Amino acid sequence: MIQSSTFNGATREFVLKTLTYRNGIFAACAATVTPCSNRTLILSEEQADASLGHLERLPTELLQLVIGVATLQSTLALRMVNKRARIFVNSSIPFKYVRLHAMPAVGVLVLTGMASHFTVQELFEALCSPACSACGQLGEFLWMLECKRCCYNCLRTLREFMPVHVNKITRAYYGVPQEFFDSLPVLATLRGTYGRNLTRMKPKSRFLSPSVIRKAAVQVHGGADALETHIQTRVSSKVRAVLECELSEAARFMASVRLPVYDPVAQVRYYGLSCKGCQHAARGAENALAQQQALTPEQELHLLERDRTYTEEGYLEHYERCFASQTLWRESCSNNLRNG
């Protein structure tokens, strides 16, 4: 609820317009496909008139259950078989909402190969869960390697969102055979610009989630201690250094795609709002970065605050403790008075 005493009777719409903004960088920093290629490749309305084979005999309810457990890739393929299949797929609840609200993400999941590893239901659940899986704040992105939501700050900073290359160094580090990777969700990166600096990246790197490969390697070695012993005794310090050093920030964003939140109760789709007050407060940190100076802990904090996003209610709660927002509001009120 908006406190009219706090905002001098101003409407919620006016308050939010004055104090928040949409951070344009979020729309550009992760993997994307053009709407045109999405329509052509992923969701063509044309379909063949083939038979569903054994599936043809299934009653509607069972067919819906099949769609519930099929991968996103299989579901899209099933939809193209014939008219009946398309009607079934389109009417299944998770696909219906994914199609309405997350098609750009679906296109990226298909082109990166991730659509073969997750179900429509899993994507639907991520679409309807606003919280970052790591910190619980509102998240704007899908970490594609595990089909889970994350926020911009966690994506940029946490080790769990730093992908691992599929190559012989990774194999040597984890002590696993080449075939080992075949069963894991491997992401093929797309050409594009990534991260806050919109770094231009070439396609065709192959990435794995660090936690997925670790978990699988623990099984291969027969336990976490055995894996650790292997790393400490059998892996050269050179290989360890390569694996344990971080890839560029852009690599993190190559394994992510922007995902709106769908609220099934209110039946609305939304992206988060950013705080203009925090944006102002971070200017000192931005200047320091531009001059390649080291940031103070306070400046680091300002950058993290700037890159948080909020629901409308979440922002109004944030306002109560954001002095920069309160200053901005007072300045905006006195400017309005001056301008009559």
Give residues in contact with Zn ion (CB under 5 A): 132, 134-135, 151, 154, 275, 277-278, 322, 325
| Minimum CB distance to Zn ion smaller for 31 or for 322 | 322
3-state secondary structure of 59: coil
CA atoms within 13 A on the CB side of 231: 18
Say which DSSP state 295 is in: P
| Minimum CB distance to Zn ion smaller for 78 or for 255 | 255
CB of 107 to Zn ion, least distance (A): 24
How long a stretch of residues is the chain? 340
CB of 196 to Zn ion, least distance (A): 16
CB of 2 to Zn ion, least distance (A): 16
Q: Which residues contact 168 (CB under 8 A, 6 or more apart)?
A: none
Report the alpha-carbon distance of residue 8 to residue 236 in Å, rounded.
Answer: 66
How many Cβ atoms are within 10 Å of 207's Cβ, its own excluded? 23
CB of 323 to Zn ion, least distance (A): 8
CA atoms within 13 A on the CB side of 243: 22
CB of 7 to Zn ion, least distance (A): 15
CB of 137 to Zn ion, least distance (A): 5
Q: Return the percent helix, strand and coil in the chain, to nearest 5.
A: 55, 10, 30
CB of 134 to Zn ion, least distance (A): 5
CA 50, 110, 40, 93 dihedral sign is: positive
3-state secondary structure of 193: strand
| Minimum CB distance to Zn ion smaller for 38 or for 133 | 133
| Minimum CB distance to Zn ion smaller for 151 or for 208 | 151
Say which DSSP state 310 is in: B
User: Tokens for 340?
Assistant: 């009559």
| Minimum CB distance to Zn ion smaller for 161 or for 181 | 161
CB of 95 to Zn ion, least distance (A): 28
User: Tokens for 68?
Assistant: 């519930």
How would DSSP label each residue in 228-261? Answer: HHHHHHHS-HHHHHHHHS---HHHHHHTEEE--E
| Minimum CB distance to Zn ion smaller for 32 or for 325 | 325
| Residue 220 exposed, middle or buried by CB count within 10 Å (0-12, 13-18, 19+) | middle
| Minimum CB distance to Zn ion smaller for 32 or for 133 | 133
| Minimum CB distance to Zn ion smaller for 130 or for 277 | 277
